Each structure stands twice: as structure tokens, then as C-alpha cells.
Amino acid sequence: MQSMDLEVVRGIIRWLNDGHQVSLVTVVNTWGSSPRPVGSLLGIRQDGALIGSVSGGCIEDDLVERLCNKSIDGSLPQLVSYGVTRDESQRFGLPCGGTLQLVIEPLNDIENLQQILDAIEQGLIVSRHLNMQTGQITIQPATYKQALTFDAKELKTVFGPRWRLLIIGAAQVSHFLADMATALDYQVMVCDPREAYLSTWPLQDIPIIRRMPDDVVIEMIPDQHTAIVCLSHDPKLDDMALLEALISDAFYVGAIGSHSNNQKRRERMAMFDISEDEIARLHGPIGLSIGSKTPPEIAISILAEITAIRHGVHFKHSSQIVTNSPDILRTSRVITV
């Protein structure tokens, strides 16, 4: 898997190298309910081919039609809005009250796009500055804390992994979690000093860091864009990472294991210089309870919980239900938000 930004940039570079004319569409503002967030990208080829999405299919066909019949001037960057009126929202199938503001620009400079692609593949973050009057583009280094900005004169778009995920342990669940997280624009790092797990690690783009977990956590300086997940099943390795992770600014810290294992883990943490509030930050058992059994299902549940926390979803309470499936009856937890 790969991030959506990476997929769109790669696709556009291929089109330009093949001699196609391409327009780039960027979501710069949303109001009310919107199907895609600010920063979403869409590449439109002159023959109507698409890569990426700005509305999940609601307005893409209209954009293609307007670009192909020249009702949208494609020579310079242009600001276009959808969903301003009730009739327009109903016509394009936008969510109730949803409004999108888009910047549409012609793409001609492969060099700038290749510079962005190289930065993304190296795990770096860059910002692309588009002058709305001239169409001139500059590329500058950026940081995790920067985000898209638009003031009608300049569009600044941030490319690269603005979120980081450190996985302790290179077990099978880690394979799927690392792969899925990459698709969500995380810069993924996997730490495991154990020799036995090196030969079975399948992801060539995500090498294993063969150092002690506490040192890796300290050196990465976790911030509010960092998640740390312990999956080694080795209390020594997981605890070493947790001792540093729980006192850091990481927005999410979790460890795999049963309720009893995690209770024992919290008791071990209390033996060190860590406050009760810091220990309370630990998510464990890790992930949302969705009845997951297989490694990919467990990875999905973990990433779902991380995504919820990342978007500020707070869990108020849970209750037990039984799924009335014809082939299996399973008790699962329902989360109310």
C-alpha cells in the first residue's frame, strides 16, 4: 500500500511523461458536511481519466466536463466552489449543507513534482507554494506541524508523512499494521532487536531498526503527531518502550495483550517514576473490539482506534451485545461516542 498523495503524484508524473495535459484539483476549504477533507487531491487528464478524489465521486464528472469544454479556464490556477446553493448540493449529491472550495491548476513542470515525490519516498515533508496570479510554484522544507493554507493569493500544500507510527516488535500483526498505516500517510518505523524476526519481515520499504526500544523512542522525540504501538509480546521490550513513550507527547500509546496482561503491565509501570495520569494514557487491550481474530483483523482494529483518537473521537462507554449471525455467535463490544 501507499499514501494517497504518493499515488496521485506518481500517476500525474506518468501522465506528463507520456505527453498528456493534466490539471490538479486540490480541496482548499470545506463547510458543513464534506465527503473529502481539506488537502485531498485529484488529477484530471485531458481525455477525462482521473486519479485521486475530491468528493468521493459527487462532482468529479462535472469537473471533467467543464475542463474538457473549456468552461473552466485551465491556463492559470482558478478557484471553484460546489454546493453553495441547495439546488447544487442536490444536483451533485453532496452531503446536506456540504460546500467544497477547490483550486484547479494546469501542471507542466515535472521537475517540481519529482522533487515532491522524492521527498515523500524519503519520509521527508515539503510544502508546495502556488502563486494564484502567476501559477509559479516553489518547493520548501516543511514540518509536522504545518498544514494546508490558502489566502486567495497563495496555496500552500504540505506533502509527506505528517504523522509518525513507531511499532515495537516485527511480528505478523506488525506486517499488516505497518502496511495499512502507510496508506494513511504515516511515516512508519519498526523496532525489533531480535534476530529471529529479520528474515521473515516482508516490507522492503520499511526496514527494521535493530536497537533497543527505549533508545529509539527517546531519539525520535515523540510529539503530538506520533503514535507508539507495542506488539512484540516480549514484556522486556514492550516495557522499555512504554517507560519512555508514556512520558512523551505521543498522542497514542498502546500495547497488545489481554486485560490481565495489561493490568500487570500497569502495575510494573507504577514501580518506576511514572505518574498515575501517565500510566492512564496506556491503551490496552489495544484496538477497538470488533471481534478480530486474524492478524489483519487485529491490525484493522488497532488502526481504527488510533484513527479515532487522532480525530478526537472520545469513547464514553461500551456495552456487550451478541451478534446474531447464522454461522457464528460472538460477543463483541459496542462503542458509543
pLDDT tens, position by position, 40-73: 999 999 999 999 988 877 788 889 988 888 888 7
pTM of full prediction above 0.75: no
Distance CA 43, CA 20 (A): 12
Which cell is 201 given? 519481515
pLDDT band at 334 (very low <50, low <70, confident <90, very high): very low
Q: What is the pLDDT of residue 333?
A: 39
The phi, psi pair for 260, rounded to 5°, reads -65, -40
Strand 137-141, strand 126-131: pairing = antiparallel
3-state secondary structure string, 26-65?
Answer: EEEEEECCCCCCCCCEEEEECCCCEEECCCCCCCHHHHHH
Which cell is 190 given? 519498526
pLDDT band at 7 (very low <50, low <70, confident <90, very high): confident
Q: What is the pLDDT of residue 150?
A: 96
Distance CA 292, CA 42 (A): 34
**Mean per-residue pLDDT over the chain, rounded:** 85
Q: For the ranges 79-93, 126-140, 254-268, 283-297, which has the lowest average pLDDT?
A: 79-93
* Domains with residue ranges and CATH for the chain: 4-159 (no CATH), 163-336 (3.40.50.720)
Half-sphere exposure in the Cβ direction for 157 (13 Å, CA) = 25
Which cell is 302 given? 488497532
**Has residue 132 got a pLDDT over 60?**
yes
pLDDT tens, position by position, 146-186: 889 999 999 999 988 778 999 999 999 999 999 999 888 88
Distance CA 297, CA 312 (A): 23
Residue of higher predicted confidence among 10 and 99: 10
Q: What is the pLDDT of residue 317?
A: 40
What percent of the chain clears pLDDT 90, i.e. is strictly above it? 59
